[in-house]
Amino acid sequence: MGAGQGAGQRVGDHDDKARAATIFDVARLAGVSHQTVSRVLNDLPNVRPATRARVEQAIKQLRYVPSPAARALVTRRTRTLGLIVTGAPDYGPSSTALYFNEAARDARYTVITASMRETDAASMRSTAELLVRQNVEAIVLIAAERAALDALDGIELGVPVVAVASEERGALHRVWLDQYTGARLAVDHLIGLGHREIRHIAGPSNAMDAAERVRGWAATLGEHGLPAREPLVGDWSPGSGYMHGRTLASDSEMTSVFVSNDQMALGVMHAFAEAGLSVPGDVSIVGFDDIPEAAFFAPPLTTLRQDFVGLGRDAMASVLAVLGDDDRTPAPRVPDLVVRTSTAAPSRERVTLTS
Amino acid sequence: MGAGQGAGQRVGDHDDKARAATIFDVARLAGVSHQTVSRVLNDLPNVRPATRARVEQAIKQLRYVPSPAARALVTRRTRTLGLIVTGAPDYGPSSTALYFNEAARDARYTVITASMRETDAASMRSTAELLVRQNVEAIVLIAAERAALDALDGIELGVPVVAVASEERGALHRVWLDQYTGARLAVDHLIGLGHREIRHIAGPSNAMDAAERVRGWAATLGEHGLPAREPLVGDWSPGSGYMHGRTLASDSEMTSVFVSNDQMALGVMHAFAEAGLSVPGDVSIVGFDDIPEAAFFAPPLTTLRQDFVGLGRDAMASVLAVLGDDDRTPAPRVPDLVVRTSTAAPSRERVTLTS
DNA sequence: GGATGAGATGTTAGCGCTCACAGTATGCAG
DNA sequence: CTGCATACTGTGAGCGCTAACATCTCATCC
């Protein structure tokens, strides 16, 4: 009587079936107390097998599923993670996000995703706070731009942040792929083939991966006493690669280009083809990422394969570590050099010109 | 005394700061009842401006944020949506997911994402149930494969499902891009240029988009009295395009190919280049999707641009419509033909051979 | 001046679950 | 057959919030 005017008509009941079963319904059907049902639900000991079976039968019969809201309310744990992915739907971040998502599901965590194209500090913070307000237990940030990282560094969110990023930041945990060594591999490959004039087309200056690749490129050249001419700065897009490719095409000393990603490498190839330069006859090109298309460029692109699958899993492993106060960082994975046909020894005549 | 032994030490307090403020803390500080705070929170009327201000001040001061769990428990509304994305991290689905995510956030909904590579019925169902268990109010499915759609059709989830898919299914709501008309546009373009022998490389037979494109291709050819030779069936990858490209290269009658996506078109181009066929000199090629790389293929690819931004928004609009029992489906968007240089009039000699 | 009523605010009862603790049954020593 | 540990199982409270209703305040009118 006092307990509400009858059955269960209420707001938001746009499906006809009655209110879902609760733990008490299960308890009643199984002839036990709700607490025993809870024990079965949480796999706690001290439940007689026969009782457990009866409860499980009742659960099945009533198609009972526990309410995550009620559970979260009392336990203060949501088993929910926030994922912020910035930038365009590019191959790298998309893959990382996908595999992270799978790894999280395997670990029985739910992921709330926030995709964002803007990475200004205000947007980043309000998005992070939005996630915190959802009581996520940790935030994973997949960000290419330095600004996205900075925006979340220093502010007190109340939950740990795991950044998938190529740079270190004070308060943030981090997983990353070793861009620096990857770039070294690229340059070593070209040097091994006999190239001495190795240009670089970099990613945007606000991209951390791009900076690491520049660093690896410059360091390797330096160690070999080779000139590191000013890198051309692109924006990851094929279009910017094309633009810089046109510039480079008129540089008669250059025999090879290390391009900071495969998409720009495509643009470079296109520019070279237009200019009548043959790849790898006149110029060798190395990309970065190994996107699925790279093997079918004209010619197939030598590039560095990144292990995004592993990266996604590392991110989840790191979350688990942080949440368990078990703070060890997985070692960064090093990209694999995939040699295809866009690289070869420099042509006789260009080498002569240079030396 | 009876009311708990003192302060608030409890499980899961692994951050040093005390338990977060509740509505009661705010009420006490503002000198009102918790109910008044709740009214302010939910923007209900009948609160004196002065009181409202005092409460807002207290909220700010305590950095209070309402608990979504508690709110969900009592209102039975979570403002949460489930998103299932199947398949590889391809450009189309990734973009759609991204823009859907943004649209959802704009509508103040939270999105729980489940990425999955497997689309067998069992996985699909258990994933959908996982989302339902999180009390999502609706599920959005971005699926290329028919199987993914079928797996969710017919089963009673208790929440509406909006499928981003090219085929209709009984119980599912749907948004889609008009693949059929897009394919017609592609073929019309080729016919307009004078091609009479227009081959097709299709996507995998389990892909709904692929089937629609085949349908559009065949219908258009039929209306013009042109032969529709058996399509070659790829798997969306550049590799499969390459394989079929090699086959087609030896077909001396064919003057043009409509390829079901840009990635395969890339493979085809690669095969043609190897075989010494010039594009568009010997053969014209039309792709589908307009991925960012397409403009920089060798040669730049004529293709159909799909409005994934709009599609993502349509998906969210449809969710809102369904949730508000306002069941109107947005009209499907038609892809735009983007003419680049991979298409031209057929060469004299090939035409002659054919006729 | 007291009835009237609208606006503002407070009180109480849950939502469905877990936690802490209080029971009740069972086994076996003494 | 008592005593007491060791299974099991039950009871009550309360997590933080909103819904429903109760109460209180004051201007307005007859």
- The 10s digit of each residue's pLDDT in B58-78 is 999 999 999 999 999 999 999
- The 10s digit of each residue's pLDDT in A191-247 is 999 999 999 999 999 999 999 999 999 999 999 999 999 999 999 998 899 999 999
Closest CA to A142 of A104, A197, A106, A189: A104
CATH 1.10.3660.10 fits A3-71, yes or no: no
Between CA B313 and C1' C27 the distance (Å) reads: 67
Q: Which of A110, A127, A238 sits opposite B134 (nearest CB)?
A: A110
Residues whose C-beta lies under 7 Å from strand D: A 5, 10-11, 31-36, 39, 45-48, 50-51, 70, 73-74; B 2-4, 19-20, 22-24, 34-35, 38, 41-42, 64-67, 70-71, 73-75
Cα separation, A97 vs A110, in Å, equals 13
Q: Are both A80-175+308-334 and A179-302+339-354 of the same fold?
A: yes
CATH code for the structural domain at B80-175+308-334: 3.40.50.2300
Phi, psi of B160 (to 5 degrees): -70, 150
Q: Which residues of B touch A22 (CB under 8 A)?
A: none
pTM: 0.89
pLDDT(A14) > 60: no
Helix/strand/coil (H, E, C) string of chain B?
CCCCCCCCCCCCCCCCCCCCCCHHHHHHHHCCCHHHHHHHHCCCCCCCHHHHHHHHHHHHHHCCCCCHHHHHHHHCCCCEEEEEEECCCCHHHHHHHHHHHHHHHHCCCEEEEEEECCCCHHHHHHHHHHHHHCCCCEEEEECCEHHHHHHHCCCCCCCCEEEECCCCCCCCEEECECHHHHHHHHHHHHHHHCCCCEEEEECCCCEHHHHHHHHHHHHHHHHCCCCCCCCEECCCCHHHHHHHHHHHHCCCCCCEEEECCHHHHHHHHHHHHHCCCCCCCCCEEECCECCHHHHHCCCCCEEEECCHHHHHHHHHHHHHHHHCCCCCCCCCECCEEECCCCCCCCCHHHHHHHC
- The 10s digit of each residue's pLDDT in B79-116 is 999 999 998 888 999 999 999 999 999 999 999 999 99
CB of A77 within 8 Å of a chain B CB? The answer is yes
- B194 CB-near residues (< 8 Å, 6+ apart): B345, B346, B351
Q: Which of residues 50-69 of A touch B (CB under 8 A)?
A: 65-69
* CATH architecture type of domain B179-302+339-354: 3-Layer(aba) Sandwich (3.40)
Q: Which of A63, A81, A113, A327 has the highest number of chain B CBs within 10 A, making it the mutation to test binding with B? A: A113
What are the mean pLDDT values of chain B's consecutive 10-residue runs (355 residues total)? 32 47 93 93 90 93 92 93 91 94 94 92 93 93 93 88 92 93 98 96 96 98 96 94 95 93 93 92 96 90 96 94 76 96 83 42
Q: Where in chain B are the domains? A: 3-71, 80-175+308-334, 179-302+339-354
The nucleotides of chain C lying under 7 Å from a protein CB are 7-21
Contact B91 A95 (CB under 8 A): no
